[in-house]
Structure 1
């Protein structure tokens, strides 16, 4: 695989105004230009997982499996919601950990197409939708007895606001294990509109019990600087 992508170069400040990938001498794309990157089988994993050493999928999946075990739940009897499922790596990891069935959700049709192409059979269903507009999603998810939620980097920034997290947790029954990773920059509890404050409100209101909250290196930038996220593991109330 490395030979296939031998010409791919990572670019970043001060060379550009953000994180970019040079696919060839004629084409440069932004790191988050997912539709273009997903179009090349294996490119996203090569750049983000291998070159940029992204660990969020592994950390989120492991956190979810720990939560299920701590609650005495059998993963083999669970249907788990994977929010921001992307190319399907998180779903593959939790399935590998014994989860019976995973339902993917992503706002990008290209993500669904890529997951079905590269990881067929991982998801029992893969729904296109946005938890900021949850009505259609709730209807699509109604047939499934969801028993947990896992998400690697989907919440935060331009991806999804605290309201999306609130709406996603609302589709779960009480006592369901959850695990998600969020950029630590959005976890400042002094920001009333941030995720730190939102998690505080969910906890105070009894809708979420936090079992773990840990800091980890999510990945490095295209210039090698570390990016830190937080893992939140809990159960719904």
Structure 2
């Protein structure tokens, strides 16, 4: 364990409204209190990546790179949109995989601040915005000539809705590789407002071809129980 975080403890029940972390004897925050967590360099990665063993960034990045390779595209000539960029781990991973340029988007100004502090130079631009309300984002992103999309855990639940996914995909040209991970609870196709139904609509309407759809362990909870997500890899049409 990193010496700087020896006092950090993971908390579950009897907390009744989710997962918590104790930053010190005097401060406890919700796991999704991102603004507070991002304010401490390295804390998010320590808790989520190391302690809770989150794999979504690696799974999403590798899925995207497989899709690009399978479609015969050169990552070194691509500009990729990273939705829900957070502190920049996904962007860093796809850049390591050979992607030339990455543009990040996150709804939280604190995420942008943390990324520019901890991973300067990963993104060609990092835009604060919400794909629920995409007009300003369209204007900001249009000059980049986006050629693909990657996202780790940004869609679903209290994050972005199926409308946000539709709006993000609408920025891409036909034939662009896409990879995103999402909690399997939001992929129930019987829910007409869920992501499972949204993906099926995209497929049936001819907007997306699904190349892969696999289940994987996203992370564990603060009490050690597994959380499963799905990886969706596709190509815009």
Q: Same fold (TM over 0.5)?
A: yes
Q: 2:216 aligns to what SS in structure 1?
A: strand
Q: Matched residues in 1 for 2:168 and 2:84: separation? A: 11
Is 1:8 aligned to residue 8 of structure 2? yes
1:58-114 C-alpha deviation (Å, 9 max, x unpaired): 000000000000000000000000000000000000000000000000000000000
Secondary structure (helix, strand or coil) at the match of 2:200 reads helix
Equivalent-residue separation in structure 1 for 2:47 and 2:174 (angstroms) = 38
Match of 1:179 in 2: 179
1:43 matched to which residue of 2?
43
Q: C-alpha separation between the residues in 1 aligned to 2:133 and 2:204? A: 25
Residue in structure 2 matched with residue 29 of structure 1 by the alignment: 29
Provide the alpha-carbon RMSD of the alignment: 0.7
Instruction: String of CA shifts for 1:131-185, please: whole Å, max 9, x gaps.
Output: 0000000000011010000000000011000000000000000000000000000
Q: Distance in 2 between matches of 1:172 and 1:116?
A: 25
**How far did 1:16 drift?**
4.8
* Offset at residue 209 of structure 1 (A): 0.2
Instruction: Say if 2:226 is the partner of 1:226.
Output: yes
Tell me the SS of whatever aligns to 1:142. helix
Corresponding residue SS for 2:175: coil
Partner of 1:69: 69
Q: Secondary structure at the match of 2:63?
A: helix
1:1-237 matches, cutoff 5 A: 2-237=2-237
For 1:15 and 1:156, the matched residues in 2 are separated by: 23
The 3-state SS of whatever aligns with 2:143 is coil
Q: Distance in 1 between matches of 2:209 and 2:43?
A: 37
2: distance between equivalents of 1:142 and 1:73?
21
Instruction: Tell me by how many angstroms 1:15 deviates.
Output: 4.4
1:182-201 Cα deviation digits (max 9, x unpaired): 00000000100000000000
Per-residue CA deviations over 1:23-66 (Å, capped at 9, x if unaligned) read 00000000000010000000000000000000000000000000
Stretches of structure 1 that go unaligned for 5 or more consecutive residues are none
Distance 1:15 1:121 in 2: 39
Report the TM-score when normalising by structure 1: 0.99
SS of the aligned residue for 1:29 comes to strand
